[in-house]
Amino acid sequence: MRFESYNIAEEIKRNLDELGLKRPTDIQFKSIPPILKGEDVLAIAQTGTGKTAAFVIPAVHLLHVRKRSARSGGIKCVVMVPTRELALQITEVFQKIGQHTRVSTFCVFGGVEQGPQIARLQQGIDILVTTPGRMFDLVSQGHIQLDKVEILILDEADRMLDLGFIKDIRDMIRFLPRKRQTLFFSATINPKIKKLAYSLVNKPVRIQISPKDPVAKNVRHAVAFIEMDDKRFFLERLVREYPDKKILVFVRTKVRAERVANAMKRVGIESRTIHGDKDQRDRLDVLQGFREGAVRMLIATDVSARGIDIPNVDMVVNYDLPDVAENYVHRVGRTGRGRQKGDALSFCSTEEREMLGQIEDFLGKTISILEIDKGEYSETLKMTEDVGDKWRDVMQEIEASEDWMKKKKKK
């Protein structure tokens, strides 16, 4: 079935056609009809399956049609998401799919001045895309009224629970009309998620797209056994062998992100970092530069692993394995999106073997091993022989200093 066959506004069909969206993905095919009927939906689907359009298309259509009847003003749809980057991304999708319709979308989030956001809200909007913190600030100040909301959408709900937003979500319900349509989208389902979902929805249509392999079929992923101190050399080699590739590198901590970036800088490789210590403007600038290809390598913590759709990421590198096995799927899901192919390579040190086992248990299968023989391993370390010794000395000094500080705190 093609989108042109759906009973949706012609403006939306034209927009989808211009965006190159001809046929629905599985999650869109199963979600759009019940949403158009006004039913509550509980949808579980892996990353990269087209979840955003699955709720954007029917929500824009419903609000576009209802505005013909000249209903009273006010926010008619609230979309709550866990991160600022995801809020901006979803807003952009609403604006593209809703172009030339009667529906207006606006995004509010923390980390920036609230004055311009308040000014835009006062002009009137139909769809509010928001993160919990800033929304509650503006609700408490009287700048956001939720009594006219007809559709509530929670996206990346499992991530919101991970970040501790469950109380905010429950508090928000008090401000919403009881009679509303609720759409609950999540990448995973567990008892905690299920309990929250069923407290919000009313006799929902449950949709679960759960292939045997949680990693998308377009992603070829493998693991290479590389010791912790040697990882930077292999990352350097990878970048030099694929200079035109857009590479997204995941590390465990903010400090580690900066260290890896500095290590790359020492050997003349440009990269940018994104993590929680960056201010919002810098984060947006970095993401924009990576999207446009001005930056070929982005080093990130898990803040960028969930929901962010960065086009044409050729390769994901798990420089560090994630602490949570489930995050492996979200990380590698940043490549191979839609119909594109992608590669993901994980560096696994001796101390990370246990984590690798947990990831494979979560996947229900072993990850292919990229074999590196001793000769090739030694050759890679020699690639930066001219700075290697200094490099190692610097890193050892830093690590020794950290150990000393930890011991001092314990005393």
Quote the CA–CA distance of 217 and 219 in Å, as a whole number.
Answer: 5
* Residues contacting residue 260 through CB under 8 Å, at least 6 positions apart: 232, 235, 249, 251, 271, 299, 319
- Same fold flag, 3-209 and 219-406: yes
Beta bridge partners of 222: 345, 368
Rounded to whole angstroms, the Cα distance separating 369 from 223 reads 5
Secondary-structure class of domain 219-406 per CATH: alpha beta
pLDDT tens sequence for the chain (411 residues): 899 999 999 999 999 999 999 999 999 999 999 999 999 999 988 767 789 999 999 999 999 998 866 556 899 999 999 888 889 889 999 999 999 999 999 999 887 889 999 999 999 999 999 988 889 889 989 999 999 999 999 998 888 887 778 888 888 888 899 899 999 998 777 788 888 888 889 999 999 886 666 787 889 999 999 999 999 999 999 999 999 999 999 999 999 999 999 999 999 999 999 887 787 778 888 888 898 888 899 999 987 656 566 778 999 999 999 998 888 988 998 898 767 889 999 999 999 999 999 999 988 899 999 999 999 999 899 876 444 444 445 445 455 555 545 554 555
The phi and psi torsions of 315 (rounded to 5 degrees) equal -150, 140
The domain spans of the chain are: 3-209, 219-406
Chain-centroid distance of CA 84 in Å reads: 10
Q: What span, in angstroms and rounded, lies between the C-alpha atoms of 214 and 197?
A: 22
Topology, domain 3-209: Rossmann fold (3.40.50)
Which amino acid belongs to residue 356?
L
C-alpha to C-alpha distance for 333 and 326, rounded to whole angstroms: 11
- The residue count for the chain: 411
Angle separating helix axes 26-36 and 51-66, nearest 10 degrees: 20
What are the distances in angstroms from CA 348 to CA 224, 231, 314?
6, 9, 20
Is the overall model pTM greater than 0.75, yes or no?
Answer: no
